[in-house]
Amino acid sequence: MVQRLKTIDNLLYKLTSLQQLISNGLLIFMMLMISFDVIGRNFFNKPLAGTFEMTELSSALLVFFALAMTHRHGEHISIDFLVNKFPDKAKNILHGFIEFVIFTTLVIMANHVFANATRIMGRMTTTSDLGWPIYPFLYIATFTLGVFALVALASAIKYWLLAVDKS
Mean pLDDT of all residues belonging to the chain: 90
State the helix-helix crossing angle for 2-43 and 135-164, rounded to 10 degrees: 140
What per-residue confidence (pLDDT) applies to 167? 59
Dump pLDDT digits (tens) for 121-140.
999 999 988 999 999 999 99
Residues 6 or more apart in contact with residue 106 via CB below 8 angstroms: 145, 146, 148, 149, 152
Long-range contacts of 109-116 (CB under 8 A, 24+ apart): 109/145, 110/142, 110/145, 110/146, 110/149, 113/138, 113/141, 113/142, 113/145, 114/138, 114/139, 114/142
Dump pLDDT digits (tens) for 83-99.
777 878 888 888 899 99
What per-residue confidence (pLDDT) applies to 1? 65
The model's pTM is 0.87
What pLDDT band is residue 5 in, cutting at 50, 70 and 90?
confident
The full DSSP string for the chain is -HHHHHHHHHHHHHHHHHHHHHHHHHHHHHHHHHHHHHHHHHHSS-PPTTHHHHHHHHHHHHHHHHHHHHHHTT-S----TTGGGS-HHHHHHHHHHHHHHHHHHHHHHHHHHHHHHHHHHHHT-B-TTT--BSHHHHHHHHHHHHHHHHHHHHHHHHHHHHHH---
**Residue 13 reports pLDDT greater than 80:** yes
For the segment 103-120, the average pLDDT, to the nearest whole number, is 97
Considering only residues 164 and 126, tell me which one the structure prediction assigns the higher pLDDT: 126
Torsions phi, psi for 77 (to 5 deg)? -70, 130
**Residue 78 reports pLDDT greater than 90:** no
Dump pLDDT digits (tens) for 21-67.
999 999 999 999 999 999 999 988 888 888 999 999 999 999 999 99
